[in-house]
Amino acid sequence: MATGALGTGIDIPGVVYIIHLGRPYGLTSFMQQAGRGGRAGEISDSIVILPSSGSGSGSRQFPASRPELVNAYSVEAQDEAALTEYLESGSCRRAVLARHLDGHLEATNCITMDSILCDQCQALPEPREAAIPTEDETQGSGRGSSLEDGAEAIYQALRGDVEQDEQLERFHRLLHAYCIYCKLIREEEESHCHSDCSYAVETDCDIVVYRQWRSQLTLAPRHQCFRCGLSQLICTAIEDQTSCIYPHLMLPGLFFLQQVGYLITICREVGFRGEEEWQWQWLCKEGDGLFGQREVNWMRVWRRVQMTWDKNVA
């Protein structure tokens, strides 16, 4: 069964059918779910099951995008529109994927890639290439410009998402190299460990107080590593059956920020609207990330911490 809850790191051989019950949340989410199939090189099928219109007319109209979830001018709206185009396509579906996810507006399709044929190409006596609108057609209808803008918006958003993860990794390496309390709170590079930090003791951020707090913290039910708290898109220790690369980084960092009074401000920047005593209940809940992905709120707050840090040191 297709689900985005497993993250993009699941690599299980032998999965040859991905079944999507209902419309996925955009083309990007669909591809992340479909990508769980064929991990060992098998040919796999991704099947979207949608409710019948009940008209019996054979119309190719599929359920519309979710207007309550996306702004008409947002990247998510472009992603929903791309999924609609993919589902309703009467020609090569691979061409739709290449246009919106890779930014390839030229004739990239099953034929030019010499790959496994999509269902539309398989149904043809002689598979045809996807029709590419001519310059006159795009100028006359305006549709080509809309497709190009939508594809570029999704491509740039995906690229930005990758760059953000790379910046977060650099941030983790920097904190990991020094006493995390001194580097994050005091902005000083101290070689001692947090467990030996006298500065942390002065603000009730020492290792004993942290461990007491950590023992009472209930982790969110999914989407993050149950050891270090980082998103499963970043820490794959549970899936790979290995040790966490940064086992004592993000959660101690959030604890320190709470102890010195900075955390509530950052939470409100991300979207928290309640009183301070409720902030950890909110932090342990799931929020919406890009392209409908679900992410624990503390991960969203931690990303904001990293972005603020980068701006301050720039």
| Structural element, H or E, at residue 46 | strand 45-49
Query: pLDDT of 125-134, one tens digit each?
Result: 664 444 444 4
User: Would 176 be classed as within a structural domain?
Assistant: no
What's the pLDDT at 130? 46
pLDDT above 90 (res 198): yes
User: Would 161 be classed as within a structural domain?
Assistant: no
User: Would 11 be classed as within a structural domain?
Assistant: no
User: Would 172 be classed as within a structural domain?
Assistant: no
Mean pLDDT of 155-165: 73
Same-domain check for residues 110 and 225: no
Same-domain check for residues 47 and 124: yes
DSSP 48: E
Query: pLDDT of 3-47, one tens digit each?
Result: 554 444 566 788 888 888 888 888 888 888 888 888 878 888 888
* Secondary structure, 3-state, 185-240: HHCCCCCCCHHHCHHHHHCCCCHHHHHHHHHHCCCCCCCECCCCCCECCCCCHHHH
pLDDT winner (highest mean) among 48-57, 107-116, 181-190: 181-190
Same-domain check for residues 25 and 101: yes
What's the pLDDT at 182? 95
Same-domain check for residues 138 and 22: yes
Same-domain check for residues 220 and 302: yes
pLDDT above 90 (res 150): no
Instruction: Write phi, then psi, for 224 (nearest 5 degrees).
Output: -140, 160
- Which of 11-25, 86-100, 113-127, 247-261 is the least confident region? 113-127
Residue 160 φ/ψ region, left for φ over 0, alpha for ψ in the -120 to 50 degree band, beta for the rest: alpha
Bridge partners of residue 296, in order along the sequence: 286
Between residues 154 and 102, the one the model is more confident about: 102
Same-domain check for residues 121 and 205: no
Same-domain check for residues 41 and 132: yes
- Of 125, 154, 183, the position where a domain reaches its end is 154
Same-domain check for residues 278 and 227: yes
- Of 138, 154, 170, the position where a domain reaches its end is 154
Instruction: Tell the burial category of 18 from Cβ atoms under 10 Å away from its Cβ (0-12, 13-18, 19+).
Output: buried
- For 67, the domain range is 17-154
User: Would 53 be classed as within a structural domain?
Assistant: yes
Same-domain check for residues 111 and 22: yes
User: Would 180 be classed as within a structural domain?
Assistant: no
pLDDT above 60 (res 85): yes
What's the pLDDT at 226? 78
Same-domain check for residues 237 and 143: no
Same-domain check for residues 222 and 147: no
Please state, in angstroms and as integers, the Cα–Cα distance from residue 27 to each residue in 10, 24, 89, 291, 307, following that order: 19, 7, 13, 8, 27
User: Would 272 be classed as within a structural domain?
Assistant: yes
What's the pLDDT at 59? 42
- Which of 71-75, 77-81, 200-204, 259-263 is the least confident region? 71-75
Number of domains in the chain: 2
